[in-house]
Structure 1
Amino acid sequence: MPVERELHTPEARQLLELTRELVDKELIPRAAHDEEHGTFPREVFTTLGEAGLLGLPYPSEYGGGDQPYEVYLQVVEELARGWLAVGLGVSVHSLSAYPVAEFGTDEQRAALLPSMLEGHTLGAYCLSETTSGSDAAALTTRAEPTGDGYLVNGAKSWITHGGRADHYTLFARTGAPDSGGKGISCLHVPADTPGLGSAAPERKMGMNSSPTAGVLFDDVRLPADALIGEENKGFGIALSALDSGRLGIAACSVGLAQAALDAAVSYSRERHQFGRPVGDFQGLNFTLADMATQVAASRELYLSAARLRDAGRPFGERAAMAKLMASDTAMRVATDTVQVLGGSGYTRDFPAERYMREAKVLQIVEGTNQIQRMVIGRHLAERA
């Protein structure tokens, strides 16, 4: 069901209406089938780019939409309401474009951003490794400076769009092995670069239409202009990108939670027991009320963080809060939806069980919720 939103411009309202139309006509009808068969909807991202929905928070001079983050995130939420793999895919693609947009040279922006923002290429974000997931500064993939560029060797893990992306935003060590976060650089790597490969896709409990795979670098040679930002200063870029990326995951979480809530409310009105809709019984009615309150509160929290970002104010703490609350809400609401549907909720004839399987990953990606609590606690300690 449509959610009332406070949008301040006619253009923003039109973008949300366009997104809802695409979701209802193009995404929802095929989501269950493609998830069941593990079909990656690559053409959907091209369609979103052609519709102007793939580069909303970026400058129009490079093919973006000049929209505030507050509007962009609501578009991501709507996409996730229809199909989480698409909403999360847009968030990851936007994350992959962020270093070029914010830290690249004018020449790099002009050369790379238009194809990213218009949907001609799809990106992936390569930070995580098998032994350095939450401890990202401990990464070991090496980009050895060669004088005229870099020689990259190593492997990245859990990469959304791994093996299917057209380009990879790579974080690799260019400093000494023990340099920690002070020896990491950000590099742009086209997918057709010799020596770049991918592992077999992970076999996941959900999000089957979104490929997740390791990305392998075997003597990958990159030119000097592959470097984004300053050498050995890439870890700051990664952390800055993740603050924005966490808001994307928060929006995805709210979209999924809204879809689950809609399914629960619809079923509670259609299912009759003891001569009346089950939603009329107080026990179930209170559950639905709690679910709706949690979804609305999570939405307002991510929007408040987006407004801070749009105003140029610090928003990292609020982004961590939004990701934490929204993804926990998605898990709780999806679980409650299965309970509302009873036996039907446990079958694949209804979307509730898929929502529950998909919700779990939102508590893990872009920093686990334990990491979000650490980030929030660190901010609290700094103010004490």
Structure 2
Amino acid sequence: MDFKTTNEQDLLANNIIKFARNELNEGIEQRDANSEFNRREWHKCAEIGICGLTFPEEYGGGNADLSTTVNCIRALSYGCQDTGLVLALITQICCGLQLHLFGKDNQKEKYLPPIISGEKIAAQAISESDAGSDVGSMRTTAIPHPNGYRLNGTKMYITNGPIADIVLVIAKTGQSQMAFRNLSCFIVTKETSGFSSETNLEKMGLRTMQNSGLIFENCDIPAEQIVGNEGQGMFIFNEMIEWERILMAACYLGVMQRIYETTVNYAKTRNQFGKPIGQFQAVSSKIADMRIKIELGKLIIDKAAWQKDQKIRSTVESSIAKVFLSESLKKICADALQIHGAYGYMKEAGIERDVRNSFAATISSGASEIQRNIIAKLSNL
């Protein structure tokens, strides 16, 4: 395994960093305060190819492998201070990947181009109020009906929910003793009768990312809108969650790198007791720990992405990446605020926003406790 990036990958990443710094950061404080999603910035990201990185050129994609995509997401989150926007884009990519990997040809032809171009916003509807980590306990059902299925249920905390044009919904289609056979995946568009979105949820952090409940009341879904085959929903979920965790970990790594560099610069220029505070071991040790987490995090993300590119399952590695990077992000944000002192506690510094955002990292896409359960289960205990 050679994780050295190519000159082309480095050039692409550097261009994304410049783009993000120049185009995506203006007004972030106000958008965060107002829980505002900025469609103009969304479309700017789509125009430079972020939404289509991993997809074939025939659909308008960039034909990049996951390793390249990870490098790009890391660069985007490093340059862009709007982490909510980056995570919304990751959801868009994952929805497109789900259709690319499991969809029928006509579904790809219809839905991939507008997802890749950013014209249509996509969401994944899996979580429910009583079914988060325990996906199998969901109550949303899709009952066979003339010409298709009748979908009923409510999803909760759905990223891109209030603004989604296309929703990939996981619902129960069976009552088998083998739980993994009971779920199926469906494409639902916002025009579907009986489908509605609740208002955007007010959150502690990631306030520019839009989350809401989604309601399905007697939604008649044509049979041709099922993704894959009936009963394949859990298989699709287990595959896609690996991609999602790797991409989210890449986002966390970019944020960590940005905060680390900001903190190093502050520690070199902030003087107390006649010298820069970075020369005090209490401060330098915290910064050293940041560097350790960044370097180790990069290695596990690169390995997990390489595995997916080689068509190797990455269940353990993607879980390790998710738990390590999410917990490292929270620690780095907290230490950065501590090193910046009173200034770091002020909104002006921007660090408090990263601290608030970081708390979602250990919860979304499988809480840290669930990641440890997965790792333990696959460690032959």
TM > 0.5: yes
Q: How many percent identity over aligned positions?
A: 27
Report the alpha carbon displacement of residue 31 of structure 1 after superposing the two structures with TM: 2.4
String of CA shifts for 1:191-212, please: whole Å, max 9, x gaps. 2212111223222111111111
- Within 2, Cα distance between the matches of 1:110 and 1:9? 33
Report the alpha carbon displacement of residue 270 of structure 1 after superposing the two structures with TM: 2.4
Opposite residue 25 of structure 2, the aligned amino acid is I
Q: 1:198 to 1:162 in 2, by over 3 A?
A: same
Contact 2:77–2:255 (Cα < 8 Å) also in 1: yes
Report the alpha carbon displacement of residue 139 of structure 1 after superposing the two structures with TM: 0.9
Opposite residue 311 of structure 2, the aligned amino acid is G
TM-score where L is the length of structure 2: 0.95
**Partner secondary structure for residue 360 of structure 2:** helix
Q: 1:84 to 1:45 in 2, by over 3 A?
A: same
Opposite residue 17 of structure 1, the aligned amino acid is N
Which residue is equivalent to 2:42? 45
**Partner secondary structure for residue 54 of structure 1:** helix
String of CA shifts for 1:170-226, please: whole Å, max 9, x gaps. 001111387633111100111221211122322211111111111111111221111
Which residue is equivalent to 1:110? 109
> Does residue 1:79 correspond to 2:76, yes or no?
yes
Contact 2:37–2:85 (Cα < 8 Å) also in 1: no
Which residue is equivalent to 1:356? 355
The 5-angstrom pairing of residues 198-277 of structure 1 reads 198-277=197-276
Contact 2:14–2:75 (Cα < 8 Å) also in 1: no
String of CA shifts for 1:238-259, please: whole Å, max 9, x gaps. 1110011010111111122122
Report the alpha carbon displacement of residue 161 of structure 1 after superposing the two structures with TM: 0.9
String of CA shifts for 1:236-291, please: whole Å, max 9, x gaps. 10111001101011111112212221221122122111222211222212211111
**Partner secondary structure for residue 335 of structure 1:** helix
Opposite residue 20 of structure 1, the aligned amino acid is I
Which residue is equivalent to 1:6? 4
Opposite residue 130 of structure 2, the aligned amino acid is T
Alignment match of 1:29 (pick from 26, 29, 34): 26
Contact 2:35–2:202 (Cα < 8 Å) also in 1: no
**Partner secondary structure for residue 362 of structure 1:** coil
Which residue is equivalent to 2:136? 137
Contact 1:76–1:252 (Cα < 8 Å) also in 2: yes
Contact 2:59–2:113 (Cα < 8 Å) also in 1: yes
Q: 1:369 to 1:94 in 2, by over 3 A?
A: same
- Within 1, Cα distance between the matches of 2:285 and 2:172? 52
Contact 1:138–1:181 (Cα < 8 Å) also in 2: no
Contact 1:80–1:86 (Cα < 8 Å) also in 2: no
- Within 1, Cα distance between the matches of 2:177 and 2:220? 23
> Does residue 1:61 correspond to 2:58, yes or no?
yes
- What residue ranges of structure 1 are gaps of 5+ in the alignment? none
String of CA shifts for 1:6-53, please: whole Å, max 9, x gaps. 32252x233212211111111233322311221102222222221112
Q: How many residues align?
A: 377
**Partner secondary structure for residue 52 of structure 2:** coil
Opposite residue 255 of structure 1, the aligned amino acid is G
Opposite residue 250 of structure 1, the aligned amino acid is A
- Within 1, Cα distance between the matches of 2:64 and 2:34? 35
String of CA shifts for 1:38-91, please: whole Å, max 9, x gaps. 110222222222111211112111111111101111211222222211221111
Contact 1:45–1:54 (Cα < 8 Å) also in 2: no
TM-score where L is the length of structure 1: 0.94
CA RMSD of aligned residues (A): 1.6
- Within 1, Cα distance between the matches of 2:182 and 2:236? 12
Which residue is equivalent to 1:121? 120
**Partner secondary structure for residue 313 of structure 1:** coil
Report the alpha carbon displacement of residue 165 of structure 1 after superposing the two structures with TM: 1.1
